[in-house]
Amino acid sequence: MNDTPSMLLSRLYQKWSGSWPERCEQLPQSGSDRRYFRLGHQQITAIGAFNTDLSENLAFTTFTRHFLSKGLAVPTILAEETDQGIYLLSDLGDTTLYSWLTGLREKDGFTSEIIKRYEMVVEQLPLFQVQGGNGLDFSVCYPRAAFDSRSMHWDLNYFKYYFLKLARIPFDEQKLEDDFGRFSRLLLQSDGQYFLYRDFQSRNIMIHDDRLWFIDYQGGRKGALPYDLASLLYDAKADIPDEVRLYLLEHYLDKLESLITIDRTEFKKQFYGFVLIRILQALGTYGFRGFYEQKNHFLLSIPYALSNLRNLLAAGLLPEGMPELYSILNHMVNKPELLEYGQKHINLTVSVWSFSYLKGIPSDPTGNGGGFVFDCRGLPNPGRIDTLKAYTGNDAPVIEYLEQQEVVSEFAAGTQALVGLTINNYLMRGFNHLMVSFGCTGGKHRSVYLANQMKNYIENKFKIKVILNHREQSLQ
């Protein structure tokens, strides 16, 4: 049987640190198929990455070493096994710029403290674009070495097929393709010889030890300077006020002028074209992940993106000469069904429990009847194995044992499919609570492991609040 990602990464961690990890916790996935784990022994932690796309791994590790040589704030590669698709990175914690600003903004709005942090970000961006691009091996870029005409058409067609089609927005395909051609030719007038980070947004910027750190640049390539600034300032759910965007644009240009000579007027003229293509690309992602893959949390960003488009259209800032595209955009920003996404999706909380049948099924404090109860006693029991009985389902040895049991994987997938169907239904109906419980003999191994898997699944797919309760472990 093939080794699991957690086992592969645990062995790599042991080679690097000299100790087997005491914990190997899978982190919630974002929009990609890469899988990340936090591994630790005592106070020594690392982030483990597993990715079967070896070309993408090569781009990331090559860029990382180059950026480190330029003194840029990126994670350090601690160890890697390229043939296995695994590597270890320095642990930068869990606080992204987005999570940090969300916490502050909910209390006090878009404060001066948030603006100062964004000033620091836009001061770092030109360093990646100009200094980071200097001497970079662009031959490893994946899937494309430059943000050229083909790349642009990929993004525009992604928007067309995964957003317009799935959102049932009417359009004339030939007229739209003609507009796409005019649009890409316009964008290609910008100098495309710099490093284009590609996904420069608040979720890919970490705050650790009160410093900014930058991650997820493996999709980088040659491109024009305005694209990354557009990605940052029009990051949908960051929801930066327009007056702050204008201020940060000027602040960015001040820093950029210290590195290269630019025409500020021409840059601003080009900027809003890149804002538009970035918003369209993002909408394609929201459509693919949300409409097609049914990951509802991506749909929550749609109203923010449409609000940005509405304001840009009203201000007359977008490029001219694309009548079919403009007709489509005006239709989108006035479609009620798209504007309402997220209004009913905010209040659902899922309580996930592990328990021992010997001590009874957990009661539901909301009075809704207890939701799902899954019996794990028919699965292989680590408690009957001498070397595993002292551990719990939170510990790496038990996790590795259970992940090697095909019946456990099938059980987990089945329970997740059932719960996922109900969550989708509850979200659409505006319900606010669901309870999911896993029971085994002692409430220590199988139920704990499967409750953890369910929590990760729900947070990854739905991005809603999950409360995890290991009842028997809490009673010890």
DSSP collapsed to 3 states, the chain: CCCCHHHHHHHHHHHHHCCCCCEEEECCCCCCCCEEEEEEECCEEEEEEECCCHHHHHHHHHHHHHHHHCCCCCCCEEEEEHHHCEEEECCCCCCEHHHHHHHHHHHHCCCHHHHHHHHHHHHHHHHHHHHCCCCCCHHHCCCCCECCHHHHHHHHHHHHHHHHCCCCCCCCHHHHHHHHHHHHHHHCCCCCCEEECCCCCHHHEEEECCEEEECCCCCCEEECCHHHHHHHHCCHHHCCCHHHHHHHHHHHHHHHHCCCCCCHHHHHHHHHHHHHHHHHHHHHHHHHHHHHCCCHHHHCCHHHHHHHHHHHHHHCCCCCCCHHHHHHHHHHCCCHHHHCCCCCCCCCEEEEEEEEHHHCCCCCCCCCCCCEEEECCCCCCHHHCCCCCCCCCCCHHHHHHHHCCHHHHHHHHHHHHHHHHHHHHHHHHCCCEEEEEEEECCCCCHHHHHHHHHHHHHHHHHCCEEEEEEHHHHHC
Strand 86-89 relative to strand 77-81, pairing: antiparallel
Residue indicated by tokens 């750190």: 213
Same fold, 5-89 and 97-339: no
Residue pair 303/342 in contact (Cβ under 8 Å)? The answer is yes
Q: What is the CB neighbour count within 10 angstroms for residue 215?
A: 19
Per-domain boundaries in the chain: 5-89, 97-339, 349-475
Q: Is the bond into 362 cis (omega within 30 degrees of 0)?
A: no
Please identify which residue in the block is written with the tokens 């209040």: 347
- The per-residue pLDDT for 33 is 78
Short-list 431, 410, 419, CA closest to 460: 419
d(Cα 229, Cα 249) in Å, to the nearest integer? 8
Stated pTM of the model: 0.75
Domain 5-89, CATH? 3.30.200
Q: Say yes or no: domain 97-339 is CATH 2.40.110.10.
A: no
**Kind of pairing between the strands at 205-208 and 349-356:** unpaired
| pLDDT of the residue at 342 | 56
- Distance (Å, rounded) from C-alpha 1 to C-alpha 250? 57
pLDDT in tens, 381-399: 999 999 999 999 999 999 9
Consecutive 10-residue runs of the chain (476 residues): their mean pLDDT? 86 97 85 87 95 96 98 98 97 94 82 96 98 97 95 97 95 98 97 97 96 97 98 93 96 98 96 98 94 81 93 94 97 88 68 95 80 96 94 94 94 93 77 93 96 92 88 73
- Determine the Cα–Cα distance for residues 457 and 453; give it in Å rounded to an integer: 6
Inter-residue contact 217 to 208 (CB < 8 Å): no
Measure the CA–CA gap between 212 and 206, rounded to whole angstroms: 6
For residues 312 and 304, is the Cβ–Cβ distance under 8 A?
A: no
Q: Report the DSSP beta bridge partners of residue 356.
A: 440
Q: For 239-276, how does the pLDDT look when each residue is reduced to its tens digit (9 = 90+)?
A: 899 999 999 999 999 999 999 999 999 999 999 999 99
Distance CA 24, CA 31 (A): 21
Per-residue 3-state assignment (H helix, E strand, C coil) for 335-354: CHHHHCCCCCCCCCEEEEEE
Angle made by CA atoms 167, 169, 173, in degrees to the nearest 5:
120
- Find all residues with CB under 8 Å of 229, minimum gap 6, and list them: 122, 125, 200, 249, 252, 271, 274
Q: Extract the tokens encoding 471.
A: 């009842």
Residue pair 379/408 in contact by the 8 Å Cβ criterion: yes
Q: How far apart are CA 91 and CA 36, in angstroms?
A: 11
